[in-house]
Amino acid sequence: ERTDFITYFHHIIDRFEMNIPERITLQRELPKERLYVLIDQDKITQVLDNIISNAIKYSPEGGKITLKVIRQKYQILVAIEDQGMGIAYDKLDKIFERFYRADKARTRKFGGTGLGLAISKELVEAHHGRIWAKSKEGKGTMILFTLPLIGKKRRVTR
Ligand code: ATP
Ligand code: MG
């Protein structure tokens, strides 16, 4: 459905704020204007839940998670950045594959199936968006995705 992504994203973050571990802080960097996208809210909620849960799961004590939306010409760019252990450069693309877990020790320590990001990728692409990751080992991870803005009707001028 037609959704103001900013209001919707605030609600999602509010829900996380209510039961976040005390050692983590969430920081919002969201524009004030409304930005309309055409989304299945349940599905994009699943995407955000997974990305934010990962960020929390892999954050250190006192870690900050920054949640950003940047308006671009025809799309919005959503970025969730943490200060966790990061992901090795050669594994950055693999985390979107089914059942991929970055390393065995991490798997034992944190649990999970390795499906979250693979499902997120399918859902974002079904919305005509893209999803990718940037990371520096030991510094943190940023997961980014795009969603097309609903186009305004073009005014004809002559
Ligand atoms: P599930 O989401 O199914 O419970 P999962 O979280 O392990 O399991 P994904 O969400 O698909 O699976 O993530 C895949 C792998 O990518 C993770 O196992 C982890 O190794 C790595 N990863 C994902 N997000 C982060 C992050 N923010 N920081 C460090 N590593 C991450
Ligand atoms: Mg996950």
Question: Of 91, 98, 85, 73, which is closest to residue 133 (Cα–Cα)?
Answer: 91
How far, in Å, CA of 34 to CA of 18, rounded?
A: 24
Q: Is 102 in the pocket of ligand 1 (CB under 6 A)?
A: yes
Q: Tell me how many helices (H) and strands (E) the chain has.
A: 4, 7
Question: Of 96, 101, 90, which is closest to residue 119 (Cα–Cα)?
Answer: 96
Tell me if ipTM is over 0.90: yes
36: tokens are 């309309």
pTM as predicted: 0.92
Residue 155, pLDDT above cutoff 90: no
Segment of 59-63, 111-115, 140-144, 152-156 carrying the highest mean pLDDT: 140-144
- Give the pLDDT confidence score for residue 99 in this predicted structure: 75
Span from the CA of 142 to the centroid of ligand 2 (angstroms): 14
How far, in Å, CA of 52 to CA of 39, rounded?
A: 19
Q: What is the pLDDT of residues 90-134, one digit of tens each?
A: 999 899 998 767 666 566 566 667 789 999 999 999 999 999 999
